[in-house]
Chain A
Amino acid sequence: MIKGLKLGIIMCLLQGMLFSVSAKDYYITDFGAKADGVTVNTRIIQRAVDFVSENGGGRIIFTPGGFVTGTFYLKSNVTLHLEGGASLLGSNNPWDYVIDPKIKWCSMIFAVNQTNIGITGKGTINGRGYVTANNLVQYIHRGLFKDAMKLDRPYEGNRPMNIYFRECTNVTVQDITLKDPASWNQTYDQCKNVLVEREIVDSKSYWNNDGIDIIDCEDVVIRDCFIDAADDVYCFKSHSADHGCKNVLLENCVGRSSANGVKFGTVSRGFFKDFKIRNITMYDTFRSAITFAAVDGADIENIEVDGVRAYNTGNVIFLRMGRRWDKGKEPSMKNILIKNVYAEVPAGKPDEGYSYEGPVEDQPRNISPASIIGIPGYRIQNVKMENMEIVSCGGGNPRYAYRGLAPADLDGIPEMIAHYPEFSQFKELPAWGFYIRHADGITFENVKFIAEKEDYRPSIVSDDVNGLNLKNVKFEEPNSDKKEQVFTYKTQNVVIE
C-alpha cells in the first residue's frame, strides 16, 4: 500500500518534470515586443502565439512593463504568463480590435476551439476601455462605424472585452489582475474544464463592465477571487437552448457590484445545473446579492449555496421565472438550498459613488424583500433557506408607497412574465422580509428577520404557494409585539413550528 503510494508520488513527480521539460518558456521581448506603453504589439504577440503553438506549446512570458495590444487569438497549448509588474494594455484605437465573425463580439484576447490554454502570473490585463469606448463613440458619430447607439452608447458587442474564450477545453486563468474593459470583462462560452483562481478584477470603466461571465460551460471552478465590477460580478448565462452551465464550483470569492453579486441570467436559455456556491461575500450591491433567473426557458436545478455574507446590498435573494425570449421552451426551477447567510439591506443607494453606478429608479418603493417569484403554470419548486439572518433597514411608510394584504392588493401585483427580471420590477411588495409567489415546497429553518425600523408590512407574505414550512423562524421589529409577521394568501399546507 505504502509502496504503491510512493510509486504514485514518484510518477507524479516524473510527470511534472516531463511536463515542465516539454512546455518551453519563451520571452515575448525575444519576438521584438516592446514594453514601452506605446508600441502596438498585436502582430508580434500573434506571431509568438502561432510559433509556440506550432512548436509544441509552452509559456509566453511577459516581463515587467506595459505591452500595448489589440485583438489577438490564443491557441492550443499556449499559456500567457504575465510576471508581476507586466501589463497587457488594451490599445485605445478601436480599429486595433476585431469583432470575431463567428462570435460576433469584440475582445482583446480571443480563443476559439482551442485546448490547454491559460493566462497566469501576477501581472495585469488592463483594457483601458474608457478611452477606447469613447473613441469608438467619436467614430460612430463621424459615420465611420455603424452602431445604433441605443441608450447613447455603442452596442456592447462592438466594444472590446478583455478575454473571450469560446469552445475551449482545459482553460486555466490564475493570479492575474483584470482591469477596465470597454464591455464585459472575461467571458468563457461553451468551454469545458475551466479553472479561474486567485484573480483580482477591477472593472468599472464603462457600461456593462461585468466581473466574470460563464456562458454554457461545464466543469467550472472559480475560487479565491476578488471582483469589483460596475455590472454583474459572478455571472452565469446560457445563450444556447441546447447548452447550459453544469457542474460549477464557486468558492471563497468576494464581490462588489453596482448590479448583482451572483447571477444566473439574464440570458437564460438552456440550463443551470449542479452548482455549489460556498463562502462568498458580496457588498455594495445595487441589486441582489444572489439572483437566479430563468426567463428564457432555462432549467435551474440542484443548486447549493452555503455561506453568504452580504453587506450593504439592495436585495438579498431573488429567484425568478419568466417567459421572455424562450420561443416555446418551458422554464423550470427546483431543488435549491441556500444556507448560512448573513445579510444587511440598507436604506440608501448601496452603490453610491461608483463609476457607472446603477440607474436611479422610478420611485416610489419602500425597501424590497427577498423574493421567490414564479409565474402562473411555472412554479418554483423545493427551495430551502437554512440558518439565515437578514437585517433590513425596514421603515416602510404606507404614505410613500403602499401594497396592502387585501385580495385586490395581492392579486394586483403584476405578473410581468415577459419583463427583464429585477428584484425591484414589481415596485412596492407587501412584505419587508420575504415575498413568495407561485411556488411549491418552500422551507425556512432557523431564519431570523430583523427590521431596524418599524414597517407597515408583515415580514413574510406568500401568495399561491403549496407547502410552506417555517421552522424556528424569528422576527425582530420595533413596536411589533402583537404584529402578525407571516401572512399567507392562497397558500396550502402551511406548517409553522
Chain B
Amino acid sequence: MIRKSLLVSFLSLLTFVGMLSAQESKLYTATVFGIHSDGVTDNTTSIQKAIDFIHEKGGGTLVFYVGRYLTGSVELKSNVTIRMASGAVLVGSPLTYDYKGVGGQTALIYAKDQENIGVEGKGVLEGSGLAIQADIAKQVAKGYVKNASEYTPTLVLFENCRNITMKQFTSQNSAVTAQIYKGCENMTFDNIYVFNKDPKTAAVSFSGCKNITAKDCYFDTPVNALVSDGTSSGLSFSKCIVPSGKEIKVEK
C-alpha cells in the first residue's frame, strides 16, 4: 500500500516536472511539419502550418537546423519563437506575389496584435533583396503592379505586438529597411546583426513603440542604421555599433 502510494506520488512528480519543462519552451523541429532544408522547396505553407500548430498548442519554439529554407511570407503568432540554429538560413522567395503583410507593407515574417513572439539563434534571415526587386520591376514593366513599394518586402514586420525578443540572429539583404516595428511594446534586441549592402537600406525602424532595449548589436548598413520618427519612447541602446565603431544614439 505504502509502496503503491509512493509510486503514485513519484509518477505525479514526474508528470509535474514534465509539464514544467514543457511550459518553459516546447521545441518543435521543422521537419516534423514537412519543411525542407534543400533551398529549393517552397516551404511557405509548411512553415505557416507549423506556426499555427504551435500557437494552437499553447506556444513553443520552431527550430530550423542547418540548411536553406526557401519561403514566402509567414505570419507569426502569439507565444511562438522562431529559432534559426547555426547555419540555418530562412531564404526569402524571389517572387513578387509570394509576399503578404500588414498596413500596406509586405514582409518575410509579419505579425499583428500578437504577444510573446521573437526570432533567435545563430542563423540568418536572408531577404534576397536584389532578386525580389528585379522581379517586382518586371511586374511593374508588364503593368501588373502599379506601386512597387506595396510589394517590396522587409524581413520582419511587427505591428501592435507586445513582448518581443529578437536575439542573436543575422538579418541580411533586405529589399527595404530590414526590420520594421509599429506600435509595439516591450522589445528586447540582443546581439542581433543586420547586414544590408545591396539594396542600400537601413537596419531597424520604430514608430509609436514603447520600451525598447537593445544591446550588443551590430548594424552594417549603407544608410543610417536606425530609422525612428520620434514617436517612440523608452528607448535604451547600449553597445549597439556601426562599422566605424560609433555607438548608436537614440532619443529618450
Which residues of A are in contact with B by a Cβ distance under 8 Å?
Answer: 30-32, 38-40, 43-44, 46-48, 51, 70, 93-96, 135, 138-139, 142, 144
Contact = CB atoms under 8 A, between A and B. Distances in A.
Contact of B46 (A38, A95, A142): A95
Given A30-B144, A32-B139, A46 B97 contact: yes
12 contacts: A31-B139, A32-B96, A38-B40, A39-B42, A39-B95, A40-B42, A40-B44, A44-B96, A51-B144, A70-B45, A93-B42, A95-B33
Contact of A47 (B32, B42, B97): B97
Nearest to B96: A32
Contacts of B34: 93-95, 135, 138-139
A43 B96 CA distance: 9
The A interface, classified by DSSP as helix, strand, loop or mixed, is helix
A138 B33 CA distance: 10
B48 A32 contact: no
A43 B97 contact: yes
Nearest to A39: B42
Contact of A95 (B32, B48, B97, B98): B48
B72 interface: yes
A-B CB proximity, top 5 nearest:
A95-B45, A40-B42, A47-B97, A43-B97, A95-B49
Nearest to A48: B144
Contacts of A144: 32-33, 49, 53
Given A44-B97, A95-B34, A142-B32, A32 B138 contact: yes
B57 to A, nearest CB: 10
B131 to A, nearest CB: 11
**Residue from A39, A46, A93, A138 whose CB has the most chain B CB atoms within 10 Å:** A93
Given A30-B142, A32-B135, A43-B72, A96 B45 contact: yes
Interface of B: 32-34, 40-42, 44-46, 48-49, 53, 72, 95-98, 135, 138-139, 142, 144
A38 B36 CA distance: 13
Contacts of A95: 33-34, 45-46, 48-49
A51 to B, nearest CB: 6
Given A95-B34, A135-B34, A144-B33, A32 B95 contact: yes
Nearest to B142: A30
B140 to A, nearest CB: 12
A90 to B, nearest CB: 13
A30 B145 CA distance: 12
B49 A31 contact: no
Contacts of A40: 42, 44
A40 B72 CA distance: 10
A110 to B, nearest CB: 16
Contacts of A135: 34
A24 B128 CA distance: 33
Contacts of B53: 144
Nearest to B47: A95
Contacts of B138: 32
Contact of A44 (B32, B44, B95, B142): B95
Contacts of A138: 34
A30 B144 CA distance: 9
B46 A31 contact: no
A150 to B, nearest CB: 23
A48 B40 CA distance: 23
B200 to A, nearest CB: 24
Contacts of B41: 38, 93
**Residue from A31, A32, A38, A94 whose CB has the most chain B CB atoms within 10 Å:** A32
Contacts of B45: 70, 93, 95-96
Contacts of A48: 144
A397 to B, nearest CB: 53
Contacts of A94: 34
**Residue from A30, A40, A51, A96 whose CB has the most chain B CB atoms within 10 Å:** A40
A30 B138 CA distance: 8
**Residue from B41, B46, B144 whose CB has the most chain A CB atoms within 10 Å:** B144
A409 to B, nearest CB: 57
A93 B32 contact: no
Nearest to A142: B32
Contacts of B135: 32
